């Protein structure tokens, strides 16, 4: 076995140590003879998720059976009618598209800044001393509180919105990348240096593979925070976006459109989570 293969094998075993320990604990708690097949457990999990979702919608419909003028919460049918009305008005899909683009742009900026900062902070004590404190100070500030300052500095255009989303995503990705670098076995780096392996091999076979699980965890949290930041920034002088539709529906007391905007945020957030989970499984399979 070559040195490169040894490093890959050790790295893979290090990455799977956490999942292996949890799996062994679960298997020791449950006898092998009593364990259900994997497809049965997966089907049961999906069925439980859909059952709870349908139960929530059924409860919603049950609570809105009275006359519209006697309740504040719109029924599912009224929300569906609001969806059709906004679609026919021509503002629904442009708003969804702009909101998604804002989240993607802000998330990309935040990740692009957080990854190198996390690598430097995790690999160097001096880098950690320089970067850690400002980032922890930034994490302690509720990012919606930065909106007024960003408006003064950047105006009320797209730059302010993208910056606010990037600030919300930056700290979460940074912390996870930093911790991922610090968790890498130093012996792997020393082994690579002893055999004078190229830097790109050290980066791809050791650093990248070691940081990837932590990075994906940070990315999951960052996407959630990005959607939260979007709600804040789209309420500031926006003429398009889901947040704009939410503000407009509030001004005209259209609760059906308000609930529709909330449902859209939830659906897009779940879709983002599913995409990240799919990407994580693909990377794990190929790795």
pLDDT at 179: 92
Q: Look up the CATH superfamily of 3-20+75-286.
A: MetI-like (1.10.3720.10)
Task: List per-block mean pLDDT (blocks of 10 residues) for the chain, which spans 287 residues.
Answer: 51 50 44 64 79 86 80 88 95 95 96 93 87 89 86 90 94 93 80 74 74 91 93 84 92 92 93 90 76
Q: Identify the pLDDT of residue 9.
A: 54
| Residue extents of the structural domains in the chain | 3-20+75-286
Q: Which two tokens stand for residue 161?
A: 């919105």
Q: Are 193 and 144 in contact (CB under 8 A)?
A: no
The DSSP result for 44-91, as a single string, is HHHHHHHHHHHHHHHHHHHHT-S-GGG-SSPPHHHHHHHHHHHHHHT-
- Tell me if 222 sits within 8 A of 172, measured CB to CB: yes
Predicted pLDDT at 27: 45
- Asked whether 121 and 132 are in contact (CB, 8 A), the reply is yes
């Amino acid at each position: 076995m070559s040195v490169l293969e040894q490093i890959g094998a050790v790295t893979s075993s290090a990455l799977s140590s956490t999942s292996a320990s949890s799996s062994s604990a679960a298997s020791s708690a449950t006898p092998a003879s009593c364990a259900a097949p994997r497809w049965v457990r997966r089907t049961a999990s999906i069925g439980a998720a859909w059952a709870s979702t349908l139960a929530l919608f059924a409860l919603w419909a049950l609570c809105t059976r009275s006359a519209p003028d006697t309740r504040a919460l719109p029924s599912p049918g009224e929300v569906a009618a609001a969806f059709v009305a906004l679609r026919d008005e021509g503002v629904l899909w442009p708003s969804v598209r702009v909101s998604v683009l804002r989240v993607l742009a802000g998330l990309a900026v935040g990740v692009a800044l957080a990854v190198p900062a996390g690598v430097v902070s995790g690999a160097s004590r001096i880098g950690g001393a320089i970067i850690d404190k400002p980032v922890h100070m930034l994490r302690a500030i509720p990012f919606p509180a930065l909106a007024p300052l960003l408006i003064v500095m950047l105006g009320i255009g797209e730059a302010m919105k993208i910056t606010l989303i990037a600030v919300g995503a930056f700290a979460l990705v940074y912390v996870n990348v930093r911790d991922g670098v610090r968790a890498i076995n130093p012996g792997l780096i020393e082994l690579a240096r002893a055999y004078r392996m190229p830097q790109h091999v050290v980066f791809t076979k050791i650093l990248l593979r070691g940081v990837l699980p932590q990075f994906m965890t940070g990315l999951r949290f960052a996407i959630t925070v990005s959607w939260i930041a979007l709600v804040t920034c789209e309420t500031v002088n926006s003429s398009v976006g889901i947040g704009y539709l939410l503000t407009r529906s509030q001004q005209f007391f259209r609760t059906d459109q308000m609930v529709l905007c909330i449902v859209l945020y939830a659906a897009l957030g779940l879709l983002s989570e599913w995409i990240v989970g799919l990407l994580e499984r693909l990377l794990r399979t190929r790795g």
